Amino acid sequence: MAAGRTRGGRWVASLLLVVLAAACTAATSDGTADDDPVPETDGEEVAMLRDVAPEGLLVGSAVAGGGHHRDQSYPDPFTADDAYRDRLAAEFSSLTPENQLKWEFLRPSPDEFVFGPADAIVDFAEQHGQAVRGHALLWHNQNPDWLEQADLGADELRGLLRDHIATVVGRYAGRIHQWDVANEIFDDRGELRLEDNLWLRELGPDVVADAFRWAHEADPGAELFLNDYNAESINVKSSAYLDLIRELLADGVPVHGFGVQGHLGIQWGFPGDVEANLRRFDGLGIATAVTELDVRMVLGEGGEPTDEQLARQADDHRRLLEACLAVDGCRSFTVWGFPDRYSWVPHFFPEEGAATILWDDLAAKPAYEALHDTLSAARAKTGGP
């Protein structure tokens, strides 16, 4: 048995709730009509993360599918794994399609839009009273080959992006409340990705402002974000975003938020000044969010984390959540999927893993307990619905 699995009673209670939830859920594999999967409970011990979150804070997860999942031996998690679906419905108040709204997934060919999987996630979210974050419209990664290799003039390429944003954002107007309009546009030196980002390279930096304007036209009610990794603390990258957003706002561009992804690793130490960093963006009058949290670690022989590693992972989760809770405009806190077997991490970093908050059998890890305790404490202080 993995280290830490026998600690505490909450995960046993959580498992019990999942079983109960499964029993009273008519979850279907096509995303249609489920009943409320969260049974009535009297005590906090069996409450899920969404239940213990303070009022106004969404607690979310990425929805597994596409991307690295396509290379794995398991079937599509969202449509085929009922226990996963039940937990997704019960535990979280916000969902982010992990890959299903990216260009590569949506646009296998120039004239084709594959909306089925994203539609199913949005329907599922509505059935379970969940918000949806849309990810991502303008990015250097996961663009289809036909797009990256197309020999188009600037006008045509610009038209393609404009049309894509109008079509995709317009389709989910009023249903997807936040969009990562521009994702990872700066590198770690705080330089715009003018080489590897197709849009910036071919259309120039002004395309970022245009993308926000087009998204706003398509859904004036949606909150429009920039989003990046290694931008949790005060550093050249987050400062580049601060400067850019200040300029965009001064030009009247509809930018509403900045997302720090939160792909952390215990080997690097916690980025200590997250709260101060988020406050800088709060000071511009925009929202902030933690959009893709996971905390990976280097695993030894046997691939099991140690108690010490799990404690460090829990601590990083707690500290990132505390930073978000301390900042008024941080109202959305999302983990990048669960359980560990569905994580993108081992696919990218073969020596690393155990990055999510749940074990493969959906039992709670210490990181889950840390989030639960921290949310409960915040709710006790500030109240809940």
CA atoms within 13 A on the CB side of 8: 20
Residue 108 found at the interface with ligand G3I (CB under 6 A): no
Cα separations (Å) of 86 from 26, 100, 220, 244? Answer: 9, 19, 32, 40
Closer by beta carbon to ligand G3I, 11 or else 179: 179
Sign of CA dihedral 2, 322, 59, 16: positive
- DSSP sequence for 5-46: TTS-SHHHHHHHHHHHHHHT----TTS--PPP-----SSGGG
Both structure tokens of 328: 């008024």
CB of 142 to ligand G3I, least distance (A): 5
x/- mask, ligand G3I, residues 219-258, rule CB under 6 A, reads: ----------x-----------------------------
- Binding to ligand G3I (CB under 6 A) within 48-107 occurs at 67-68, 71, 98-99, 104
Footprint (CB under 6 A) of ligand G3I, residues 120-149: 141-142
Q: Which residue is nearest to ligand G3I (CB)?
A: 67
**Exposure of 91 in the CB half-sphere (CA atoms within 13 A):** 31
Separation CA 352–CA 304 (nearest Å): 10
Nearer to ligand G3I, 99 or 313 (CB): 99
CB of 347 to ligand G3I, least distance (A): 5
The site that binds ligand G3I (CB under 6 A) totals a number of residues, namely: 15
Instruction: Enumerate the β-bridge partners of residue 289.
Output: 259
CA angle 138, 319, 303 (to 5 degrees): 80
Smaller CB separation from ligand G3I, 263 or 280: 263
Which residue in the block uniquely carries the two structure tokens 């930073």? 323
| Active-site annotation holds for 45 | no
CB atoms within 10 A of CB 198: 21
Q: Per the omega criterion (within 30 degrees of 0), is the bond before 136 cis?
A: yes
Tell me how far, at minimum, the Cβ of 3 lies from ligand G3I, in Å: 26
29 makes contact with ligand G3I (CB under 6 A): no
Examine residue 292 and tell whether it contacts ligand G3I (CB under 6 A): yes
Tell the smallest beta-carbon distance from residue 348 to ligand G3I (Å): 6
What's the token pair of residue 20? 């109960």
Catalytic residue from among 91, 184, 223, 369: 184
Total H helices, total E strands in the chain: 15, 10
Q: Which residues sit opposite 162 in a β-bridge? A: none
Say whether residue 261 binds ligand G3I (CB under 6 A).
Answer: yes
How far apart (Å, rounded) are the C-alpha atoms in residues 236 and 239? Answer: 5
**Closer by beta carbon to ligand G3I, 235 or else 306:** 235
Which C-beta is closer to ligand G3I: that of 263 or that of 319?
263
Q: Which of 223, 275, 292, 369 is catalytic?
A: 292
- CB 29, min distance to ligand G3I, A: 21
| Choice between 70 and 129, CB closer to ligand G3I | 70
Q: What is the closest distance, in whole angstroms, from the C-beta atom of residue 132 to ligand G3I in the complex?
A: 15
Tell me whether residue 25 or residue 313 sits nearer to ligand G3I (CB atom): 313
The DSSP call for residue 383 is -
How is residue 158 written in tokens?
């610009």
Looking only at residues 322 through 381 of this chain, which bind ligand G3I when binding is defined by CB under 6 A?
344, 347-348
Q: Is 301 known to be catalytic?
A: no
Least Cβ distance, residue 98 to ligand G3I (angstroms):
5
How many of the other CB atoms lie within 10 Å of CB of 74?
11
**52 token code pair:** 């213990």
Map the footprint of ligand G3I across residues 159-218, applying CB under 6 A. none
Which residues in this chain contact ligand G3I in the complex, by CB under 6 A?
A: 67-68, 71, 98-99, 104, 141-142, 229, 261, 263, 292, 344, 347-348
Give the active site residues: 184, 292
